[in-house]
Amino acid sequence: MSETMYATALKTALFEIKNVCPDVNHAFILMENGTVVAADDQPLDPSLEKAVGSIQDLAEKSASIGGLGEFVIDAEKGKVYVSQVNGMYSILALSKRVDLPFLRTITNIVLPTVLKVLHGIDNPETSISTPLKSAPIVPFSVLKQASSEPQVNEEEIEESFEKPEKLEKDDEIEKPESVEDLKIETETKKADEAEETETETPEVAELPSQQLIVDKFGGLMVRSDTVQVDFEILDRWASTLNVEEIREVDVETFRGKTTRCKAKVINDEKLQGRGIIRIPEKACDALELKRGELVRVKPVIAEE
Amino acid sequence: MPVKKKIPQIEATEQVEWAPRHEVKEHAADMRTTLDRMKTREGVIGYILRASTSATVDIKDPSKIIEYAVLSTSALESAESVLEAFEMGKMGSVVVEGKDLKVLLLTTDEHRISVFMEKNVDHNAIYKELTH
């Protein structure tokens, strides 16, 4: 893939970050080869070029602390956040009131994902390892069976080798089975069993899920068991699962805490389409969640 | 016999008009005391305190002094040029975080301070202590 394509994709990513975080005033990416990609089409002025050069210099001299990961400057009129993403540096000039943890989460999701996709397109052989959909849940028993399969087969082979020796005198056995035959047999068995498991697993779980950014909300009339999700997401899940509407969702934190909540559409227009889930303060406390953190959200199909 | 209670006496020094002021020196000594106290905290590796003509370095691993000094200079220079480019005014604090360690840098009127620490140390608390 050409550098221009990379630059265009990164530029779009920066533009989207600016859309999500209005506190981002300027956004740049310093690529590995020293090229600077800006979110807007304005050319770099000399002072900015000097600044970018100084960041490159700092990155080289940061070996003593394990390389430059983050560089945060808190100044009189704003903040500057520089973070390393896959060997590149994102440089964001921010307003004073910026929510840095939220921005950090966004940047650390959007840019690596874009870079991963670009890398995947560039090198189709090393395709993206992360599944886009959540992996189907395979029951432990199936996993256990699958993992113990080769051992069983080996034992079978060994036993069948021993059998002819033990039953030498038995006239009914005309020919001992050859190793090749046995291998073919075990392979066909494996294939049959694999087919069986394949047919079983889709029924177990094929629920869609989505990672969303947490936004807290509270108030007197707020029900602590109801979360707000984008209409588009709920609608997409409803059509995927062939149900009228999604009434409940499972919210799972990355610390492993899960809760089931009623789902409603985000009522604040400004917050729609931003990939966030609005969770009541009480529920956030119960799940030990902070604003800006990521959660995995799955729809719950109502049992009729 | 009643025990006498010791009352700490504060020596009040009155500044006369004709005498030279010693505020800067006192401030430097205060800062060094604060930094020395901070160095005893768990996870704090050391500090570099620079004035216009002198510098105090206290780093647990002496073999790293030069590398850390170069890094702190480079970070402050970089921060200054970035702030100039974005026209963001006076520098408050700077944090450089690596894979293993992080550095808190700040400038006062007379000093440039760099505090090196483990990543789990709360640099905001250190910053507050140094500035208040």
Q: Is A80 on the interface with B (CB under 8 A)?
A: yes
Q: How confident is the model at residue A192 (pLDDT cuts 50, 70, 90)?
A: low
- Residue B96 pairs in a beta bridge with A71, B103
Tokens standing for residue A24: 């981002």
- Position A142 scores a pLDDT of 43
Concatenated DSSP letters for B40-98? TSTTEEEEEEE-SS-EEEEESSGGGHHHHHHHHHHHHHHHHHHHHHHT--SEEEEEEE-
Q: How confident is the model at residue B28 (pLDDT cuts 50, 70, 90)?
A: low
- Give residue for tokens 């430097």: B28
Taking alpha carbons only, the member of B127, B71, B114 closest to residue A66 is B71
* A33 to A29, A62, A87, B3: CA distances (angstroms): 11, 18, 10, 76
Tokens standing for residue A159: 């036993």
Taking alpha carbons only, the member of A240, A239, A253 closest to residue A287 is A253
Higher pLDDT, A124 or A60: A60
| A66 vs B70, B95, B98: nearest CB | B98
Q: What is the pLDDT of residues A121-159, one digit of tens each?
A: 776 655 444 444 444 444 444 444 444 444 444 444 444
Q: Is A75 on the interface with B (CB under 8 A)?
A: yes
What span, in angstroms and rounded, lies between the C-alpha atoms of A102 and A281? 17
pTM for the structure as a whole = 0.54
* Predicted interface score ipTM higher than 0.90: no
What span, in angstroms and rounded, lies between the C-alpha atoms of A139 and B53? 70
Contact A70 B97 (CB under 8 A): yes
Answer whether residue A23 shows pLDDT above 60.
yes
What span, in angstroms and rounded, lies between the C-alpha atoms of A82 and A68? 9
Answer whether residue B116 shows pLDDT above 90.
yes
Contact A68 B98 (CB under 8 A): yes
Q: What is the mean pLDDT of residues B102-112?
A: 89
Q: How confident is the model at residue A233 (pLDDT cuts 50, 70, 90)?
A: confident
Tokens standing for residue A291: 């604003």
Probe site for chain B from A47, A71, A104, A108 (most B CB atoms < 10 A):
A71
Answer whether residue B25 shows pLDDT above 80.
no
Chain A closest CA to B24's CA: distance in Å? 24
Taking alpha carbons only, the member of A112, A85, A107, A117 closest to residue A27 is A107
In contact, A73 and A54? CB cutoff 8 Å:
no
Q: How confident is the model at residue B21 (pLDDT cuts 50, 70, 90)?
A: very low
| CA-based nearest residue in chain A for residue B89 | A76
Q: How confident is the model at residue A81 (pLDDT cuts 50, 70, 90)?
A: very high
| CA-based nearest residue in chain B for residue A69 | B98
Q: How confident is the model at residue A217 (pLDDT cuts 50, 70, 90)?
A: confident
Q: Is B93 on the interface with A (CB under 8 A)?
A: yes
pLDDT mean across residues, chain A: 74
Taking alpha carbons only, the member of A149, A148, A177 closest to residue A161 is A177
Q: How confident is the model at residue B126 (pLDDT cuts 50, 70, 90)?
A: very high
Contact B94 A73 (CB under 8 A): yes
Chain B closest CA to A70's CA: distance in Å? 5
Answer whether residue A190 shows pLDDT above 60.
no
Tokens standing for residue A299: 């729809």
Answer whether residue B69 shows pLDDT above 80.
yes
Q: Which residues 6+ apart lie within 8 Å of A90 measured at CB?
A: A14, A27, A28, A29, A30, A81, A82, A83, A107, A111
Three-state secondary structure call for residue B102: strand
pLDDT exceeding 90 applies to what percent of chain A?
Answer: 10
Q: What is the mean pLDDT of residues A54-63?
A: 90
In contact, B75 and B103? CB cutoff 8 Å:
yes
- Position A203 scores a pLDDT of 44
Q: What is the mean pLDDT of residues B99-108?
A: 92
- Position B94 scores a pLDDT of 95
- Position A38 scores a pLDDT of 76
Chain B closest CA to A8's CA: distance in Å? 23
How far does chain B reach from its first CA to its final CA, in angstroms? 44
Concatenated DSSP letters for A260-275? EEEEEE---GGGTTSS
Contact B67 A64 (CB under 8 A): yes
Q: Which residues 6+ apart lie within 8 Å of A55 measured at CB?
A: A30, A71, A82, A89, A91, B78, B82
Answer whether residue B24 shows pLDDT above 80.
no
| CA-based nearest residue in chain A for residue B105 | A73
Answer whether residue A277 shows pLDDT above 50.
yes
Answer whether residue A183 shows pLDDT above 60.
no
Chain B closest CA to A192's CA: distance in Å? 49
Q: What is the pLDDT of residues A235-267, one digit of tens each?
A: 888 888 888 888 899 988 877 888 898 998 888
The dihedral region occupied by A82, where left means phi > 0, alpha psi between -120 and 50, and beta the remainder, is beta
Answer whether residue B10 shows pLDDT above 70.
no
| B82 vs A54, A62, A68: nearest CB | A54
Tokens standing for residue A184: 């073919």
Write down all domains in chain B, each with its CATH number in brackets.
Answer: 28-131 (3.30.450.30)
* B24 to A73, A208, B2, B105, B114: CA distances (angstroms): 26, 65, 44, 20, 19
Q: How confident is the model at residue A275 (pLDDT cuts 50, 70, 90)?
A: confident
Chain A closest CA to B105's CA: distance in Å? 9
